[in-house]
């Protein structure tokens, strides 16, 4: 083993003062404010899905008015943080940031006779991703294209994705909520390299090649073989401050080569 340990520790940049009250990008789920990490997620918190129409109707304020008047069974339940009886931007709270708490890499290798093997792993821990792609790929009220197969797990087949409907009256998908927030931690097999050296093949041809220690090597190299992650998107390395709009996955690259030394 040649290397193990953190490559880049947690980003610790936290604003201590702003001239204005806060800064939030328009149509983006961020807010940067004093004491929070840069580009913190500023979202409405959810509490699962309503399981019955009666449960949705029973979600009322102190005056017995419905907090989500259009909600039905299978819709998201949003938390009324400020207690004003409605769900809007005033109910958003800080919910972490994209930047990982730990970035790490691990490399290991061995050589046995003429065979050599090298492995490199790379990953992050503590990252959060805003899976914005789900807005268009799980939302039947938006667009007329094919959806992700995850839509088959929508309520009542599962309890994570809201019910399928061509009218999003409850604003399940239009609300910047933690429904879109996912764990972006991952461990990737970044590279595997396998090589074998035939040193006797060339050296047996002449004494000159033997004196030069000539050799013929064959190698197989694979980049991005597999990524271990709970993230449902195509690639947890989204960049863009954690906003995933369908970033193309990292390709697996297989290389085969010959190395001649003489």
| pLDDT tens-digit readout, 222-253 | 999 999 999 999 999 988 789 998 878 889 99
Spatial contact of 112 and 193, defined as CB atoms under 8 Å apart: no
> Cβ neighbours of residue 205 under 8 Å, at least 6 residues apart?
none
Joined together, the tokens standing for residue 17 give 């003062």
Residue 52 has pLDDT above 70, yes or no: yes
Q: What is the rounded CA–CA span in Å between residue 186 and residue 53?
A: 38
Three-class SS state of 240: helix
DSSP per residue, 177-214: BGGGEEE--EEEEEEEEEEEEEHHHHHTT-HHHHHTT-
Q: What is the mean pLDDT of residues 8-33?
A: 53
More confident site: 211 or 182: 182
Q: What is the mean pLDDT of residues 122-133?
A: 94
- 161 pLDDT band, cuts 50/70/90, is very high
Q: What is the rounded CA–CA span in Å between residue 89 and residue 43?
A: 8
- The label of the residue with tokens 């790929």 reads 137
pLDDT given at position 95: 94
Contacts of 234-239 with C-beta under 8 Å, sequence gap 24+, read 236/124, 236/127, 236/129, 236/184, 236/185, 236/186, 237/186, 238/98, 238/129, 238/184
Spatial contact of 66 and 59, defined as CB atoms under 8 Å apart: yes
pLDDT given at position 17: 40
Longest dimension (CA), the chain: 98
As to burial, measured by CB atoms within 10 angstroms (0-12 exposed, 13-18 middle, 19+ buried), residue 196 is: middle
Q: Which residues pair with 8 in a beta bridge?
A: 103
pLDDT given at position 22: 41
> Cβ neighbours of residue 93 under 8 Å, at least 6 residues apart?
42, 43, 44, 45, 81
pLDDT given at position 202: 59
Three-class SS state of 23: strand
Q: What is the rounded CA–CA span in Å between residue 17 and residue 56?
A: 41
DSSP E strand stretches across the chain: 3-9, 30-31, 40-44, 46-49, 76-78, 92-94, 102-112, 115-125, 128-130, 181-183, 186-198, 215-229, 253-261
């Amino acid at each position: 083993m040649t290397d193990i340990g953190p490559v880049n520790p947690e980003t610790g940049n936290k604003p201590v003062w702003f001239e204005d009250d806060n800064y939030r990008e328009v149509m983006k789920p961020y807010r940067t404010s004093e004491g929070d990490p840069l580009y913190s997620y500023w979202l409405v918190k959810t509490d699962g899905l309503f399981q019955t129409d009666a449960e949705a109707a029973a979600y009322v304020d102190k005056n017995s008015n419905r907090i989500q008047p259009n909600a039905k069974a299978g819709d998201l339940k949003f938390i009324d943080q400020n207690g004003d009886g409605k769900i809007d931007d005033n109910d958003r709270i800080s919910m972490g940031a994209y930047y990982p708490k730990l970035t790490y890499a691990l490399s290991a290798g061995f050589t046995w006779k003429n065979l050599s093997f090298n492995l490199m792993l790379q990953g992050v821990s503590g990252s959060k991703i805003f899976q914005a792609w789900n807005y268009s790929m799980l939302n039947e009220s938006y667009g007329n294209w094919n959806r992700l197969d995850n839509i088959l797990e929508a309520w009542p087949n599962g309890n994570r994705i809201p019910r399928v409907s061509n009218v999003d009256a409850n604003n399940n998908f239009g609300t910047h909520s933690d429904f879109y927030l996912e764990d972006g931690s991952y461990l990737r097999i970044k590279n595997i390299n396998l090589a074998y050296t035939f040193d006797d093949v060339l050296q047996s041809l002449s004494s000159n090649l033997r004196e030069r220690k000539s050799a013929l090597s064959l190698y197989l190299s694979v980049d991005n073989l597999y990524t271990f992650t709970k993230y449902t998107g195509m690639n947890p390395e989204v960049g863009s401050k954690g906003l995933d709009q369908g970033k193309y996955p990292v390709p697996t690259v297989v290389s085969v080569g010959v190395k001649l030394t003489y």
